[in-house]
Chains A and B, each alone.
Chain A
């Protein structure tokens, strides 16, 4: 593993469910909580709608880390969505681990609309962990000349 580079800014793609985690991130903002700005948020209707392809595509495009965050179990706006996500995301990360990708590059969390502080903490922790791992170069598309 390469030494953490001083100027490495992790690029994190964060799939946030609109009803809970995205609202939670809004609350973090409104509360003026400071946290690293490395996560690009993508709002989705529900974590159950996250196709494994989105994760793979994010890594293919060069994401250093991918976060999927949604409502707590039992609180899903669509009743079952996050239960399905729990299965699909587990399978996805197991497959990524299997081929040798660092498991810590994928993270999943339950963050409710009231948990602005938790959201900030999740992102802060993730950024720090990715900084240690360095840039993602296994699945990233290489532009050759």
Chain B
């Protein structure tokens, strides 16, 4: 289903989705707060003129903090566990860039591999991603083309929107996307031949736009494997301060920690909670004995890069990195994954 949506009508579409009884959507759109773009509940005027959001949309299916179950023990009785599943509520996320869209199936793979993570899947099944193609790279550090993506990719999206100036070309990718567009009803118009031509040209221009480049993405898995003991890792990680920015902002990083949060000691009550964890934190691999297999920044940088470009490839046949460029732009000390991968693969033995 392909339609045209006048930019002035986008608020109307969001309103229709929000009011869509009996299956209302909770709509989240990019909004500027304190100088950063984040996803916020849609509130009045919808803006889709963001470059990319600071944080990826992984937080919808995989929140920073998630409660698994609550526990309580009344004296003399057996402990009582109450599973807490996410609320049944549909969510629509607007303005999802193609790199973030491609992150979604990669996360899906991880949380369904051998064992289904019910907390993830119960949220995931209720989320629709409405993407926005990139007419030009939103960041000087984008490199989606190098990792099998594209500024007009629809992978992971339910709907794809393309900015044509005063209107959007809106294309349903999944059945859910179709239903969302149907909810908008007469807000949408049929595309003309000129519209189709403009979309084609816009997409072609987008793909031709220069980006940063991973020189040998296909050879990367084998070359990285051969470079495990390379002294380059420590050299390139010398400035790394072990903060959590690259990992927390990444659309496909998914490591987590589980802790029991005790609210009351007597009677005992609390919750078991999952939170994001970070392989760049110095104690991520700290063993109970005190030994830490990744005790320097070189080992931890190697871990992250290998996970994105080698291990994930070995497990699932595709790169985990989607080229959004956030880790490159946001690193406070300039660790640059594109430079790192290129340098290591160039020197691979």
Q: Which residues of A contact B (CB under 8 A)?
A: 141, 143-145
Contacts and interface: CB of A to CB of B under 8 A. Distances in A.
Contacts of A144: 67
7 contacts: A141-B263, A143-B263, A143-B271, A144-B67, A145-B67, A145-B70, A145-B84
Nearest to B269: A143
A78 B319 CA distance: 63
A144 B67 CA distance: 9
A145 B271 CA distance: 9
A144 B84 CA distance: 11
A144 B261 CA distance: 11
B224 to A, nearest CB: 41
Contacts of A141: 263
A144 B63 CA distance: 14
Contacts, number: 7
Interface of B: 67, 70, 84, 263, 271
A80 to B, nearest CB: 35
A143 B70 CA distance: 11
Nearest to A61: B263
Contacts of A145: 67, 70, 84
A145 B72 CA distance: 14
Contacts of B84: 145
A145 B263 CA distance: 12
B64 to A, nearest CB: 13
How would you classify the secondary structure of chain B's contact residues: helix, strand, loop or mixed? strand
A145 B69 CA distance: 9
Nearest to B82: A145
How would you classify the secondary structure of chain A's contact residues: helix, strand, loop or mixed? loop
A83 to B, nearest CB: 36
B305 to A, nearest CB: 36
B63 to A, nearest CB: 12
A42 to B, nearest CB: 16
A53 B185 CA distance: 57
A38 to B, nearest CB: 19
Q: What 6 A-B pairs are tightest by C-beta distance, nearest first?
A: A143-B263, A145-B84, A145-B70, A145-B67, A144-B67, A143-B271
B259 to A, nearest CB: 14
Nearest to A144: B67
Contacts of B70: 145
B260 to A, nearest CB: 13
Nearest to B84: A145
A141 B70 CA distance: 16
Contacts of B271: 143
Contacts of B67: 144-145
A57 to B, nearest CB: 14
Nearest to A143: B263
Nearest to A141: B263
Contacts of A143: 263, 271
A51 B84 CA distance: 37
A144 B70 CA distance: 10
A75 B263 CA distance: 39
A141 B271 CA distance: 13
A120 to B, nearest CB: 29
A143 B270 CA distance: 9
Contacts of B263: 141, 143
B275 to A, nearest CB: 13
A40 to B, nearest CB: 14
A109 B87 CA distance: 49
A58 to B, nearest CB: 16
A144 B263 CA distance: 11
Nearest to B264: A143
A54 to B, nearest CB: 18
B222 to A, nearest CB: 47
A143 B269 CA distance: 11
A145 B84 CA distance: 7
Nearest to B87: A145
A145 B86 CA distance: 10
A54 B266 CA distance: 21
B229 to A, nearest CB: 43
A144 B271 CA distance: 9
A97 B88 CA distance: 40
A110 B197 CA distance: 81
B83 to A, nearest CB: 12
B119 to A, nearest CB: 15
A25 B30 CA distance: 57
A141 B84 CA distance: 19
A143 B84 CA distance: 13
